[in-house]
Amino acid sequence: MTQDTAEKQTLIGKRIPKLDAPGKVTGAARYLQDIELPGMLHGKILRTNRIHARILSIDTSKAKALQGVHAVITAQDTSGVPLGFGQDNPPLKGDRVRCTRDEIAAVAADTESIAEEALKLIKVEYEDLPTVFTPHDALKDGAPVIHDKHPNNIPFTYDYEHGDVAKGEAESDVVVEDTFALHFVTHCCMGVGGIIASFDVEGNLTVYSQTQMPFLYKRDIAPVIGVPAEKIHVIQPAIGGAFGSKLDIYPFEPICVFLAKATRRPVRIVFSREEEFLASPTRQPMELTLRSGARKDGTITFRDVSTLHDNGGYTSWGATTPFVMMQAFSSLYRVPHCRYKTTVVYTNNPYSGAFRGYGNLQATFSVESHVDKLAEAVGMDPLEFRLHNAQDPGETTLQGLHLQTCGLKDCLNTAAERSGFVAKHAANRNGQAGPVKRGIGMASLFHVGGGAKIYHTDGCGTILKVDDFAKVTVLTGATEIGQGSETVIAQLVAEELGLPLSKISVVNNDSEITPWDVGCHASRTTFIAGNSAQRAARKARQKLLDAASAKLKLATEDLDLRDGQVVGADTGEPLLDLGKLLRALHFRDKNEIVVTSEYYEPPSVMQDKGFKGNVSPTYAFGTQVAELEVDVETGVVRVLKVTSVHDVGRVINALGIEGQVEGGVVMGVGYATREHLLVNDGHVTNPSFRDYKILTAPEIPDVDCAFIETMDPEGPAGAKGIGEAPAICTAAAIANAFYNATGVRMCKLPLTPERVLRALKTAAGEAVG
Amino acid sequence: MSFTQEISFTLNGKQTTVSIPADMDTLTMLRDVLQLTGTKLGCGEGECGACTILVDDVATNSCLMFAVDCDGRHIQTIEGVQSEGGLDLLQREFVEKGAVQCGFCTPGLVMQGTAMLRENPNMSEVEIKRGLEGNLCRCTGYKKVIDATASAMAKSRGEGQG
């Protein structure tokens, strides 16, 4: 044996191509849109053209008579059971519509075009009701009531407090207060939304779904469609992007099931791109009023926050973003006193769901803008101020979040060093000639790094089998939405079993086969599903080593698994082929097969009524530095570079993690500088890629990413979650860079030329037209 | 029902004849009539590039092209890109450089990149970025797509590791 082969090769931290990439670059991967079942019909949904109205009548007779139409359904044909997080959203609206997307009727027909034709033949009579489009107006006396159950238009409030903000304020040498306003944006998944529903003759339902949470999906859709959960089989074809948009159940899903029921045929609904803009969830718009203070030495003294959320017409996950936001308020840096009050208010606008970051982009935008303001007020460099307030490993924040590992200071220092922050920041402030001003700004983030225990379990199951040829099949509950969890899981298993990746196959898309998982959210999959898979693999490893030990008459601890062989632990010398061992185990010795299972439950807790408690087993930190140019004559902001440094515990797949950061940063730049779903009087006025601009290839900034490896003791191989983190603080860093360039603080996004010019002119005391 | 027309064209190297409604677009013909579902419908209005195919070697949004206009042309789709049953160079670079996440935009990006590499094997980074401008991707932030294209270009010129 050479020294090289005796040394254990590791897959952890390597640049590993995604296992599903070959199928995707050849067009072989099958998305929902690509699946055609025998006899399948095409469903289309009639959406209202009113914003708030009573439905007086719906006449479907002409649509039903159209050749090629198999069913036309309205609310009468459904259970009427509402869905969504707030359970206030009936799949088809029978008596009243409350926002632009509302579903009135649906058609199943031989082709999509016949279904579209049929929609035009449905006549709906309405009586318009008074409308309300801002939370402020919706809270006024006499405002239109959106849901009778909530006469004050407030479905949710959240109150959080630690310490005593009055005391904190009294101890402050500087206090700043601002109101920030964040806007509607939407996910823009390249694969639009859709579903296929198909019943068999015994009433078993198969749904081909893009859901990010296949198991809770069964539980939550069952009462709405009147099919017991045990009769629902969820298959997840390749998902063309999710970013949180597929975390809740939306009306089109039960509607498709009702159409399949009515026609006794499989039915597919696939959105048009316009429908995707109109009818998928958004990131929740909100107004945040933040008051914060610091002592002269740069110590943060308090944060007092109130936020007002535009909930839109119904309640989806967007309403629960305060749960995550309060973590940024309470725990991004040391905050001795913190109060956070929020009111979620119904309006006649579109409603919001989960979107990468889950409220944390909005919270961090306000907090990190204020951190810069406080630093300036006490005469400290932004880096120095942040370092002064950053936590150390082992601390527990006053919300009860335990920072077993914490790389915040390393993130800050590394991001500053790599970008040359301190010198550039100081130089830019000394005034710049010419119309194009350069700016540099920094912001950090704090987010859950291993799920969030919002249910009584935050676990994930794995079943692992090793066949006669040492081929491993990993059945995991974790959902792949393009982020690369499949590859990370395979790496962790391969590592434990000393096998090449080509020997690992991951099955992750069939609820009849895969074990339970909460779902793909809260940056939890690498951590939770990774731990589950790693532990299942360890059990298989133990079983194999025990069998080899008996066969070889050597102690288990003297053996190891490498390259498909049982080897001497010290020498690396191959002693027994793993396939041979497995076949002997199966056919000769104990007639045994190697199958293991694991349900990993993270050591986190559900928070108490005051939202205190260690909700995640680990937390992600990161710092981004944005460099930009502002043309003060045109108002154009060009983001040139983002340095993005993250505490990820440990890098498992270097290629995959860079992809998460680059994609997240570009999404964050879009949020900060241009993306805006325009909603005027309840109508979405830019429902196309022509008018809703995401960044294109020539417009991306240079992204420099670096990773701080804090080796989380609970993480799989030391890793933390990274899915959401890269998008969270980009907008805040850009706003701080904008200030560095211009001396003007932007409290509203996006930084479009028009908004920028107005702000610059207002600041200069010029009249704004 | 609309008027039906028979057309003949070369599809991924094979002579193909189909009867299609005169108002059908090329993307629908490929996906629904010819069952070539590798080409994706992202927007249907020429804004996202997910449906990019090559028409006589020119990258084209198949959602905006009438199917009847394929008559007599050479059409190449993502299904026709593999070389000898394996991945071709650009596809391999997409895989190895991490240019794929959800993958929905990927076939269109591969077709666009293929056309760009054929047209100009000496693109600058700016030219690569501009060439990819019409293809939207929400996952990757484009950087690895640009890297993969540059790397395939370098390798096709025989410059080894790009």
Q: What is the pLDDT of residues A357-369, one digit of tens each?
A: 999 999 999 999 9
List the one residue out of A451, A368, A437 whose CA is nearest residue A730: A368
* B140 contacts A659? CB cut-off 8 A: yes
Q: What is the 3-state secondary structure (H, E, C) of A430-478?
A: CCCCCCEEEEEEEEEEEEECCCCCCCCCCCEEEEEEECCCCCEEEEECC
pLDDT of residue A300: 98
Distance from chain centroid for Cα B81? 9
Query: Measured between CA atoms, how close is B3 to chain A, in angstroms?
Result: 15
Q: How far is Cα A464 from Cα A527, in angstroms, rounded to an integer?
A: 18
Kindly state the average pLDDT of the residues A154-183. Answer: 98
* pLDDT above 70 for A156: yes
Burial of A178 (0-12, 13-18, 19+ CB in 10 A): middle
Kindly state the average pLDDT of the residues A496-517. Answer: 97
Matching CATH topology for A37-129+192-239+246-279 and A282-452+608-763? no
Neighbour count for residue A39 (Cβ, 10 Å): 11
* B44 contacts A273? CB cut-off 8 A: yes
What is the overall mean pLDDT for chain A? 96
pLDDT digits (tens, 9 = 90+) for A640-699: 999 999 999 999 999 999 999 999 999 999 999 999 999 999 999 999 999 999 999 999
For A486, residues 6+ apart whose C-beta sits below 8 A from its C-beta are A18, A19, A20, A480, A506, A508
At residue A1 the predicted structure's pLDDT band, cuts being 50, 70 and 90, is very low
Residue of B102, B109, B132, B133 to mutate for A, most A C-beta atoms under 10 A: B102
Nearest to A188 among B31, B39, B138 (CB): B138
Say if pTM beats, i.e. exceeds, 0.90.
Answer: yes
- What residue ranges do the domains of chain B occupy? 4-79, 89-156
Q: How far is Cα A693 from Cα A677, in angstroms, rounded to an integer?
A: 10
Q: Is B75 on the interface with A (CB under 8 A)?
A: no
Q: Is B48 on the interface with A (CB under 8 A)?
A: yes
Nearest to A18 among B100, B104, B146 (CB): B100
List the one residue out of A161, A621, A168 whose CA is nearest residue A391: A621
Touching A: B residues 88-107, CB under 8 Å: 91, 94-98, 100-107
Kindly state the average pLDDT of the residues A287-305. Answer: 98
* pLDDT above 50 for A4: no
Q: How far is Cα A243 from Cα A226, in angstroms, rounded to an integer?
A: 29
Structure tokens at A167: 């005391």
Q: Is B73 on the interface with A (CB under 8 A)?
A: no
* pLDDT above 80 for B28: yes
Q: Which residue has the higher pLDDT, B159 or A556?
A: A556
Specify the DSSP element, H or E, that contains A626: strand A619-631
pLDDT of residue A429: 86
Q: Is B87 on the interface with A (CB under 8 A)?
A: yes
What spatial distance separates the first Cα and last Cα of chain B, rounded to whole Å?
Answer: 53
- Shortest CA distance from A35: residue in chain B: B37
pLDDT of residue A767: 75
Q: Which CATH class is domain A3-28+459-600?
A: alpha beta
pLDDT digits (tens, 9 = 90+) for A686-745: 999 999 999 999 999 999 999 999 999 999 999 999 999 999 999 999 999 999 999 999
- Specify the CATH superfamily of domain A37-129+192-239+246-279: Aldehyde oxidase/xanthine dehydrogenase, a/b hammerhead (3.90.1170.50)
pLDDT of residue A769: 61
- Give Rg (Cα) of chain A: 27
pLDDT of residue A415: 98
Find the range with the poorest average confidence among A54-68, A420-434, A496-510, B62-76. Answer: A420-434
| Domain boundaries B4-79, corresponding CATH code | 3.10.20.30
Angle at A662 between CA A659 and CA A664, to 5 degrees: 100
Residue B19's DSSP bridge partners are B6
pLDDT digits (tens, 9 = 90+) for A218-232: 999 999 999 999 999
Residue A197's DSSP bridge partners are A207, A267
* pLDDT above 80 for B2: no
* pLDDT above 60 for B161: no
Residue of A16, A18, A26 to mutate for B, most B C-beta atoms under 10 A: A26
At residue A590 the predicted structure's pLDDT band, cuts being 50, 70 and 90, is confident
* B139 contacts A17? CB cut-off 8 A: no
Structure tokens at B162: 């790009």
Query: What is the identity of the amino acid at A416?
Result: A
pLDDT digits (tens, 9 = 90+) for A106-137: 999 999 999 999 999 999 999 999 999 999 99
Q: How far is Cα A539 from Cα B42, in angstroms, rounded to an integer?
A: 44
* pLDDT above 50 for A5: no
Nearest to B48 among A34, A190, A242 (CB): A190
Chain A / chain B CB contacts < 8 angstroms: 174
pLDDT digits (tens, 9 = 90+) for A442-452: 999 999 999 99
Q: At A582, is the secondary structure helix, strand, or coil?
A: helix
Residue whose entry in the numeric block shows the structure tokens 């950061």: A661
Q: Is A57 on the interface with B (CB under 8 A)?
A: no
Give me the DSSP letters along chain B. -PPEEEEEEEETTEEEEEEEETT-BHHHIIIIIS--TTS--S-SSSSS-TTEEEETTEEEEGGGSBGGGGTT-EEE-GGG--BTTB--HHHHHHHHTT--SS-SSHHHHHHHHHHHHHH-TT--HHHHHHHTTT---SSS-SHHHHHHHHHHHHHHTT----
Query: Measured between CA atoms, how close is B39 to chain A, in angstroms?
Result: 7
Q: How far is Cα A695 from Cα A674, in angstroms, rounded to an integer?
A: 8
Q: How far is Cα A478 from Cα A524, in angstroms, rounded to an integer?
A: 9
* pLDDT above 60 for B162: no
Q: Is B9 on the interface with A (CB under 8 A)?
A: no
Indicate the fold that domain A282-452+608-763 takes in CATH.
Aldehyde Oxidoreductase; domain 4 (3.30.365)
Query: What is the identity of the amino acid at A737?
Result: A
* A696 contacts B132? CB cut-off 8 A: yes
- What residue ranges do the domains of chain A occupy? 3-28+459-600, 37-129+192-239+246-279, 282-452+608-763
At residue A336 the predicted structure's pLDDT band, cuts being 50, 70 and 90, is very high
pLDDT of residue A110: 98
Touching A: B residues 15-34, CB under 8 Å: 31
Kindly state the average pLDDT of the residues A252-273. Answer: 98
Whether A507 and A495 have beta carbons less than 8 Å apart is answered as no
pLDDT digits (tens, 9 = 90+) for A187-202: 999 999 999 999 999 9
pLDDT of residue A756: 98
Whether A756 and A683 have beta carbons less than 8 Å apart is answered as no
For A553, residues 6+ apart whose C-beta sits below 8 A from its C-beta are none
pLDDT digits (tens, 9 = 90+) for A438-478: 999 999 999 999 999 999 999 999 999 999 999 999 999 99
Indicate the fold that domain B89-156 takes in CATH.
DNA polymerase; domain 1 (1.10.150)
Distance from chain centroid for Cα A663? 13
